[in-house]
Amino acid sequence: MSNIKKNFEEQGFAILPSFYSADEVDAVVASVAERKRQRPMNVTIDLLDTGERSLLGLLSPEEIKSRRMKINDLYLDMEDVRELALSDRIAPVLQELLGSAPALCNSLYFEKGSQQPAHVDAIYMTPVTNDHLIAIWVALEDSHVDAGQLFYYPGSHKIEQMIFSNGTRQSIPTEMTEWHSYMSAQVENNRLEKQTFVAKKGDVLIWHANLLHGGGPIADPARTRKSLVFHYFSLPDAQSLGYKLEAKSCGYWIDRPIQAVPEAAFQRAEFEKAYLAKYEDVANAVRAGQFASGTHHYEVCGRAEGRTI
């Protein structure tokens, strides 16, 4: 058994220091920056401060610069992102840990820390077969203590997962308070200690789908914490779910449509465009960074001022 697999099975994670070179990382960062500049209509994003889902192309350039967001599934049509996820070096490692060929099912790009509470991936992307989901976190820059570092609880992957009222391990939003209480008690009973991943550019963290982990608080909002996260089902699970699979290295990537965006996102974009066109002072304030968007201005003070479109 390799040291990586031993640590993964015993602790629920493994760290691969300096796995990707600075040149490899910088090329992907530049590619993503260009994608953001283009603002395409086929890239789904989640605004982390409000929970809204939208499209990159529905946000203004100012919003893209200022808002904390998660950019979903760039792997679908960006070969360099797929290369980080399924390179000839990383795919065999994932295959050894999963016991099957990995099937890339999503990618998440962050420029800021997620500040996400402690959670396990398997309750949100529940595999058909237990333990047939794995994830990696690729550091695209050195992490900083004030940027909201990734944390995890070694050994927490061995906690018996709570069964929700639907009879599965798939989360139910109204029962998440109970789930968090259950996990906190398990951490205390098993005397598990939180660790922080002090990442360097090019480092890779691999973790088990049941490893309890999250994002620490951001002390300095100006600091970035650029990273890419990838999740993988096992090949048998992906096949059983009927996904269209494309081969890469010794693994696969799931070719599927982008995640659906609610109609409200399009309505918000229309409001934003009209509001900024009507109120030049607001547009100037947004450009100056005083407000994240015209919608933000309207919610904070525009409504009270009687502004309309």
pLDDT in tens, 133-187: 999 999 999 999 999 999 999 999 999 999 999 999 999 999 999 999 999 999 9
Band (2; pLDDT cuts 50, 70, 90): confident
Q: Which amino acid is at 142?
A: D
Give pLDDT, residue 127: 96
Q: Do 204 and 283 belong to one domain?
A: no
Q: Find out whether 28 and 81 touch, Cβ atoms under 8 Å.
A: yes
Same domain, 131 and 68: yes
Considering the domain architecture, whether residues 135 and 270 belong to the same structural domain is answered as no
Q: Number of structural domains, the chain?
A: 2
Question: Taking the CB of residue 283, how many other CB atoms lie within 10 A of it?
Answer: 18
pLDDT greater than 70 at residue 261: yes
pLDDT digits (tens, 9 = 90+) for 281-302: 999 998 888 888 898 899 999 9
Q: Is 81 exposed, middle or buried (0-12, 13-18, 19+ CB in 10 A)?
A: buried
Same domain, yes or no: 230 and 134: yes
Residues 173 and 104 in one domain: yes
Residues 269 and 160 in one domain: no
Q: Which residues contact 185 (CB under 8 A, 6 or more apart)?
A: none
In a domain, 136, yes or no: yes
Q: Are residues 63 and 171 in the same domain?
A: yes
User: Does 307 fall in a domain?
Assistant: no
In-domain check, residue 278:
yes
Is the alpha carbon torsion for 162, 163, 164, 170 positive or negative? positive
How many residues would you count in the chain? 309
Claim to verify: residue 160 and residue 288 sit in the same structural domain: no
Answer yes or no: is 308 within a domain: no
Angle at 148 between CA 212 and CA 68, to 5 degrees: 105
Instruction: Note whether 25 and 109 are same-domain residues.
Output: yes
Write phi, then psi, for 190 (nearest 5 degrees): -95, 5
Distance, CA of 66 to CA of 46 (rounded, Å): 14
Token digits of residue 235:
């090949």
**pLDDT at residue 278, as a whole number:** 94
- Is residue 309 domain-resident? no
CA–CA dist 299, 84 (Å, integer): 40
Q: Quick one: 61 and 25 in the same domain?
A: yes
pLDDT band at 66 (very low <50, low <70, confident <90, very high): confident
Is residue 34, in this structure, part of any structural domain at all?
A: yes
Q: Do 231 and 279 fall into the same domain?
A: no
Classify residue 205: in a domain, yes or no.
Answer: yes
Q: Distance between CA 225 and CA 229 in Å, rounded?
A: 12
Lowest-confidence pick of 60-64, 128-132, 215-219: 60-64
- In a 3-state reduction of DSSP, which class is residue 240? helix
Structural domain of 268: 264-302
Kindly state the tokens that stand for 242: 């009927």
> What DSSP string runs through 51-73?
--EEEGGGS-HHHHHHS-EEEE-
142-174 exposure pattern, b = at least 16 Cβ within 10 A, e = fewer: ebbebbbbbebbbbbbebebbebeeeebebeee
Question: Would you tell me how many other CB atoms lie within 10 Å of the CB of residue 41?
Answer: 11
| Span 244-270, average pLDDT | 95
Residue 1 is predicted with a pLDDT of 56
Say which CATH number the domain at 122 has: 2.60.120.620
The one-letter code for the residue type at 196 is T
Same domain? For 66 and 214 the reply is yes
In this structure, are residues 147 and 113 in contact, taking their beta carbons and an 8 Å threshold?
Answer: yes
Element (H, E) at 254: strand 251-255
Q: Which amino acid is at 203?
A: D
- To the question of pTM greater than 0.85 for the whole model, the response is yes
251 falls within a domain: yes
pLDDT at 269 over 60: yes
pLDDT tens-digit series, residues 146-160: 999 999 999 999 999
On the question of pLDDT at 216 being above 90, the answer is: yes
- CA dist 221 → 59, 67, 145, 152, 296 (Å): 20, 11, 12, 22, 18
